[in-house]
Amino acid sequence: MKLIIILMIFFFVLPFSLAQLRFGFYSFTCPQVEEIVGEVVQSYYQRDITIAGALIRLHYHDCIVNGCDASILIDSRVNRTAEKDAKPNKTLRGFNLIDDIKSNLEQQCPQTVSCADILTIATRDAIALSNGPTYNVLTGRRDGLVSNGFNVTIPGPFSNVSQALNFFTSKGLTLEDMVTLMGAHTIGFAKCIFFQSRLSSFNGNIDPTMDPNLDAFLVEKCGSRGNETSVFLDQKTPFDFDNEFYNQIVNKRGILQIDQQLALDPISNVLVWNFASGNFNFWERFGVSWSKLANLDVKVGNQGEIRRNCRAFNFPLLF
């Protein structure tokens, strides 16, 4: 039975921008928005179950740079590299799904629903389809007017816990938020090049922080020097949004260095063990932390714009 997490937020204690977001923002202007988004997400999910992880990553990479303003969706132009073409974002997917939702909404409610809200709602729906928690999201975001690939700085898979935490706290997120959000790796995957340096086939020795059986499996998958093969980060339930990711890293079966370090570093290991002890613990916290992420530096009111096409600003000169 799915856990329904309703986030009750008292607007009088929120920053002004966040206070302008609300549940049911489109109730009168586009009441069918949730139905339209849900139908498109479900149709994509039925054809490719990995789209859920792709949407989570797309949403995270949008919000964690300059706030949740759909700047990650903008296409590059001849004279400017947009965020999606920055090195950390080269493998992002899900853009066509967002395009299809936007196209359907423009037919029903022209220039009403922001691309930032579409991405937020679509990610929530994809998590639910992956047998994850269901949670309500605030809406009313507007789309940003800047997308600059040079602004993209995101901790990589070789970061340690302290480095990652410094980044997250600079965005107003806590240690608990960081450990929780990284649990989304439970339906993620990574290419061998991002963890090959941990393998015995690469450096001649088994990483002492990795289960030898996992090392043997990954060596077989990746070869002696790594390749473009992708491996699920959760080897047990890769398509279910559950707490199995934490169970694996406490047993030295984390694939990415940063994932495994979460379970080993005294800064974060207590939280990891708490989430590993029960799915409810993870789900309950995830709705809170992901909503915090989705509300970072949002544009509201007269800020930004409502794009007609999620891939381009309404007035390109603003690029």
Asked if residue 69 belongs to a known ligand binding site, the reply is yes
Structure confidence at residue 102 (pLDDT) = 98
Q: Which residues are catalytic?
A: 61
Token readout for 184 is 């989304």
Asked if residue 62 belongs to a known ligand binding site, the reply is yes
Q: What is the CA radius of gyration of the chain?
A: 20
Asked if residue 59 belongs to a known ligand binding site, the reply is no
Is 70 in contact with 310 (CB distance < 8 Å)?
yes
Asked if residue 65 belongs to a known ligand binding site, the reply is yes
Q: How far is CA 51 from CA 123, 205, 283, in A?
A: 10, 35, 20
Asked if residue 78 belongs to a known ligand binding site, the reply is no
Write the pLDDT tens digit of every residue in 14-34: 454 555 899 999 999 999 999
Structure confidence at residue 204 (pLDDT) = 81
Structure confidence at residue 63 (pLDDT) = 97
CA pair distance 154, 303, nearest whole angstrom:
25
Structure confidence at residue 11 (pLDDT) = 36
Structure confidence at residue 9 (pLDDT) = 34
> Which of 300, 8, 283, 313 minimizes the C-alpha distance to 131?
283
Asked if residue 67 belongs to a known ligand binding site, the reply is yes
CA pair distance 191, 144, nearest whole angstrom:
31
Q: What is the pLDDT along the chain (319 residues), one digit of tens a residue?
A: 444 443 333 333 345 455 589 999 999 999 999 999 999 999 999 999 999 999 999 999 999 999 999 999 999 998 889 999 999 999 999 999 999 999 999 999 999 999 999 999 999 999 999 999 998 999 999 999 999 999 999 998 999 999 999 999 999 999 999 999 999 999 999 999 999 999 998 878 889 999 999 999 999 999 866 577 899 999 999 999 999 999 999 999 999 999 999 999 999 999 999 999 999 999 999 999 999 999 999 999 999 999 999 999 998 754 4
Q: Which amino acid is at 218?
A: L
> Which of 187, 143, 127 minimizes the C-alpha distance to 315?
143
Asked if residue 186 belongs to a known ligand binding site, the reply is yes
Domains of the chain by start residue, with CATH: 15-154+294-318 (1.10.520.10), 161-286 (1.10.420.10)
Structure confidence at residue 223 (pLDDT) = 80
